Amino acid sequence: MVLSKSTLVNEVQAVGSQKEALQFLKANNVALAILDIELEDSDGFSLYKRAVSAGFTGKVLFLSAKQDKHIIRTAAKLGAQGFVNKAESLEDISSAVEMILRGYTFFPQEHLIASEKDIDELLTERELAVMNYLLQGLSNKDIGEKLFISNKTVSTYKTKIFEKLEVDSVISLAKLVKDRAVF
């Protein structure tokens, strides 16, 4: 197996079911779990959530036969360190594992919101202004006063920003902006 040749990989274990995987992740100090998104008895995302709830603190690389941007973004939102399509070569999968074990992430960039240009294209000028004020910590009322709009309108813009950027809080928004060095 290609992974067992890596100097960063001490041991490779395979399990046959979600139940076995959960038991193994609970009982062992696993640095990296490679999880298939499409499992017979559930899905890899559910397994990962259950493992984290049970105390798993290792890194995770999701595999899938599908290269769907929603799946990739969901993996990233869950805190995964990577995503690889099963169609990739074994060498590419091994490279992803090594990068993740070295502290990097491994996602297909074309499927993630990746740059200032993307955010500028997704948001209107007014949404960008509201986003900027949100990131400064202003309340909806304060933003409304600065932009001469009602609190309700600010709330609507905020909802649209969250939907377009696929975040669920100002904290998530700030993290996205910080990670992507947008401003």
Domain boundaries, the chain: 3-111, 116-180
Is pLDDT of 182 > 50? Answer: no
Output the pLDDT for position 7. Answer: 57
Question: Residue 4 is encoded by which pair of tokens?
Answer: 């067992």
What b/e readout covers 40-76, taking b as 16+ CB neighbours within 10 angstroms?
eeebbbebbebbeeeebeebbbbbbeebeeebbbbbb
CB 128 within 8 A of CB 163: no
The arithmetic mean of pLDDT across residues 74-101, rounded, is 89
Helix 151-165, helix 140-147: angle, nearest 10: 110
Is pLDDT of 175 > 90? Answer: no
Is pLDDT of 1 > 50? Answer: no
- Domain 116-180: CATH architecture, name and number where available: Orthogonal Bundle (1.10)
Under CATH, what is the fold of the domain 3-111? Rossmann fold (3.40.50)
Output the pLDDT for position 67. Answer: 76
The arithmetic mean of pLDDT across residues 51-63, rounded, is 92
